[in-house]
Amino acid sequence: MSEGSTVLAPNAAAGDTQTARILIIDDEVAIRESLETLLVLEGYSVGTAPDGIKGLDELERQPYDLVLLDLALPGENGIDLLPRILDRRPELPVIMITAYGTVTNVVDAIRAGARNFVQKPWENEKLLADIRAAIAQHRTEEENVQLKRALKQRYTFENIVGKSESMLRILDLVAQVAPSRFTVLIQGETGTGKDVIAKAIHANSPRRDKPFVPINTGALPTELLESQLFGHVKGAFTSAHAAQKGLFEIANGGTLFLDEIGTMGLETQAKILRVLQDRRFRPLGSVQEVQVDVRILAATNSNLRQSVREGRFREDLYYRLNVVTIDLPPLRSRREDIPLLAIHFLERFSEENQLETRRLAPEVMRAMMDYEWPGNVRELEHVIARGVALSPTPVIPLDVLPGELTGRSYSASMLEHDANASLFDILEDIERRIIIDKLERCNWNQTEAAEQFRIPLSTLNQKIKRLNIEIRKKQKE
Ligand SMILES: Nc1ncnc2c1ncn2[C@@H]1O[C@H](COP(=O)(O)OP(=O)(O)OP(=O)(O)O)[C@@H](O)[C@H]1O
Ligand SMILES: [Mg+2]
């Protein structure tokens, strides 16, 4: 086949709905031909070039989706050519082809922005898998840009990413209920985006220029919570040295977001119900009622209906809150959102750290697609933040990922122990690892970890002390 020609194959490349176009730049005819045959048989359109100059020409002529670039080219070598390719097409995935034993050059190439490399002689299956992964990632990046543009045109959903049917349905629902005054109950596991959705509802409502006031109703003791919500007059209780406005008043005209409502005490529930019904309330210690116009959004990661059945949540309040319910699905049941979210966070953290955009090695993306994500989007966000921080190269390698993602999970390593260790020591070691793992998943929030373990917080704290577990600071959310 002649240089620069493209072969249009009848079948789409394996797994792809669109035929991708690949450019091979290599000076050895035999290599070009064997790669071309391999790729054409897979259904790709292929172009070839024997050197950098012809390669760049070819890139101008056709919209390629990927380049296979030989490292050792005559004249200008692959490493020098790479920046010139990326200048023209910054997002184009380039996979380097290298001879055995050119490790330092490979590192240079990855630093210069190559996605990956293959060593001669290559294994066809691995090469094809890497090509598929790089093209898929490239398409997701482009899709991400388009999606953001499309979403922006429809509503101001800043920073919400998703293309799964369930997320698109949720965004439609958000757009539909946002302009109204309806109370919305947002349910979902931890880290699924309940805060994000609450903010989007407010931002797309006529109240957007008025305050959005979030309060974590589960974190405060009753008296403190009530004085925060309803305010108090001077002297209402011993430490009330001055009058204080409550959040209901501060949120007047805007939105009050009652987060973690499932753990709110029954007394406070009764008072909230009253505000919802009458739109008025009495600050602590006051004889006068205050009238407010506040839209209520509520969120919970527990099953409120269950709490109603168990008498821990008022049924009448439940029905008041539950005018519209948004159920956020866990990330593991909308896996098509994983690549989009990953790329969204890669872009964000790279930008925040003033780095050129980081990418994921294909095996990292594969590991992410296979993982269960018990901490949902927040966990994914933290994994990417950590990857960007720890990766020595612009392409994030597998070994900077936490063990549970890469299959180096504690379940496998659990059985490995020093032959002389006592059963007691082994059990302690296992307990320590399980607790650390849980704390990591809960972002070092001990209350949440204790809840998930279904043990009292005090028991967890005792264990943390006894097992000498060093508490890392709760990460910023
Ligand atoms: N669809 C999404 N697109 C982009 N970022 C998201 C999305 N969903 C969640 N996030 C991000 O994931 C993180 C967790 O989301 P959020 O705080 O809204 O979760 P949550 O459901 O309120 O969790 P919790 O129950 O622990 O309060 C946030 O940093 C948020 O920005
Ligand atoms: Mg939240």
Residue 446's φ and ψ, nearest 5 degrees, are -70, -35
pTM for the whole structure: 0.65
How confident is the model at residue 73, as a pLDDT? 85
Q: Single out the residue of 52, 51, 50 nearest to residue 81, CA to CA.
A: 52
Mutational test site, ligand 1, from 196, 261, 441, 451, max ligand atoms within 8 Å of CB:
196
Give the separation between CA 24 and CA 230, rounded to whole angstroms. 69
Q: Which two tokens stand for residue 458?
A: 């005090």
Mutational test site, ligand 1, from 156, 160, 192, 377, max ligand atoms within 8 Å of CB:
377
How confident is the model at residue 5, as a pLDDT? 35
Residue owning the nearest CA to atom 4 of ligand 1: 160
- Say yes or no to pLDDT of 150 above 90: no
Q: Is 144 touching ligand 1 by the criterion CB < 6 Å?
A: no
Residue owning the nearest CA to atom 16 of ligand 1: 193
- Say yes or no to pLDDT of 8 above 60: no
| Ligand 2 center–CA 217 separation, angstroms | 11
Q: Is 398 touching ligand 1 by the criterion CB < 6 Å?
A: no
Mean pLDDT of the chain: 85
Give the separation between CA 103 and CA 99, rounded to whole angstroms. 9
Tens-place pLDDT, residues 322-332: 889 999 999 99
| Shortest-distance atom of ligand 1 to CA 186 | 21
Give the separation between CA 295 and CA 206, rounded to whole angstroms. 11
Q: Is 377 touching ligand 1 by the criterion CB < 6 Å?
A: yes
Q: Is residue 248 a contact partner of residue 280, using CB atoms and an 8 Å limit?
A: no
Write down the CATH number for the domain with range 165-328. 3.40.50.300
Q: Which two tokens stand for residue 246?
A: 């409550």
| Ligand 2 center–CA 192 separation, angstroms | 8
Q: Is 347 touching ligand 1 by the criterion CB < 6 Å?
A: no
Residue owning the nearest CA to atom 9 of ligand 1: 193
285-291: average pLDDT: 90
Q: Is 190 touching ligand 1 by the criterion CB < 6 Å?
A: yes
- Enter the DSSP assignment of 236: S
| Ligand 1 center–CA 77 separation, angstroms | 45
Query: Which part of the chain is CATH 1.10.10.60?
Result: 409-477
Segment among 64-73, 117-126, 414-423 with least mean pLDDT: 414-423
Tens-place pLDDT, residues 31-73: 999 999 999 999 999 999 999 999 999 999 989 999 999 988 8
- Say yes or no to pLDDT of 458 above 90: yes
- Say yes or no to pLDDT of 238 above 90: no
Sign of CA dihedral 118, 124, 130, 135: positive
Mutational test site, ligand 1, from 171, 173, 185, 195, max ligand atoms within 8 Å of CB:
195
Segment among 15-29, 66-80, 127-141, 193-207 with least mean pLDDT: 15-29
How confident is the model at residue 416, as a pLDDT? 62
| Ligand 1 center–CA 230 separation, angstroms | 28
| Shortest-distance atom of ligand 1 to CA 477 | 29
Give the pLDDT band of residue 29 (cuts 50, 70, 90).
very high
Give the separation between CA 367 and CA 301, rounded to whole angstroms. 27
Instruction: Name residues whose C-beta falls within 8 Å of residue 290's C-beta, 6 or more positions apart in sequence.
Output: 231, 248, 249, 280, 281, 282, 283
CATH architecture of 6-122: 3-Layer(aba) Sandwich (3.40)
Number of residues written out for the chain: 477
For the chain, the straight-line distance linking the first and the last C-alpha, in angstroms and rounded, comes to 56
Q: Is 331 touching ligand 1 by the criterion CB < 6 Å?
A: no
Give the separation between CA 25 and CA 69, rounded to whole angstroms. 5
Residue owning the nearest CA to atom 24 of ligand 1: 190
Distances (CA, A) of 13 to 6, 128, 241, 389, 439: 15, 10, 73, 35, 43
Please report how the helices 124-154 and 29-41 are oriented relative to each other, as an axis angle in degrees rounded to 10: 60
Q: Which helix (H) or strand (E) holds 411?
A: helix 410-413
Q: Which two tokens stand for residue 220?
A: 């405060």
Query: Which part of the chain is CATH 3.40.50.2300?
Result: 6-122
- Say yes or no to pLDDT of 149 above 80: no
| Ligand 1 center–CA 197 separation, angstroms | 8
Residue owning the nearest CA to atom 23 of ligand 1: 191
Stronger pLDDT, 476 or 203, i.e. the higher one: 203
Sign of CA dihedral 149, 150, 156, 159: negative
Q: What angle do CA 90, 356, 441 make, to 5 degrees?
A: 120
Give the separation between CA 196 and CA 188, rounded to whole angstroms. 12
**Owner of token pair 């309806």:** 182
How confident is the model at residue 414, as a pLDDT? 59
Q: Parallel, antiparallel, or unpaired: how do β-strands 184-188 and 324-328 relate? A: parallel
Give the separation between CA 264 and CA 312, rounded to whole angstroms. 9
Give the separation between CA 209 and CA 448, rounded to whole angstroms. 34
Query: Which part of the chain is CATH 3.40.50.300?
Result: 165-328
Q: Is 214 touching ligand 1 by the criterion CB < 6 Å?
A: no
**Owner of token pair 């967890």:** 460
Residue 171, CA atoms < 13 Å, CB-side half-sphere: 20
Residue owning the nearest CA to atom 25 of ligand 1: 190
Q: Single out the residue of 96, 79, 89, 27 nearest to residue 56, CA to CA.
A: 89
User: What CATH class has 409-477?
Assistant: mainly alpha
Give the separation between CA 392 and CA 117, rounded to whole angstroms. 16
Residue owning the nearest CA to atom 26 of ligand 1: 190
Q: Alpha-carbon Rg of the chain, whole angstroms?
A: 28
Q: Which of helix, strand or coil describes residue 67?
A: strand
Distances (CA, A) of 236 to 60, 127, 221, 249, 403: 76, 72, 17, 17, 53
| Ligand 2 center–CA 190 separation, angstroms | 7
317-344: average pLDDT: 92
How confident is the model at residue 222, as a pLDDT? 86
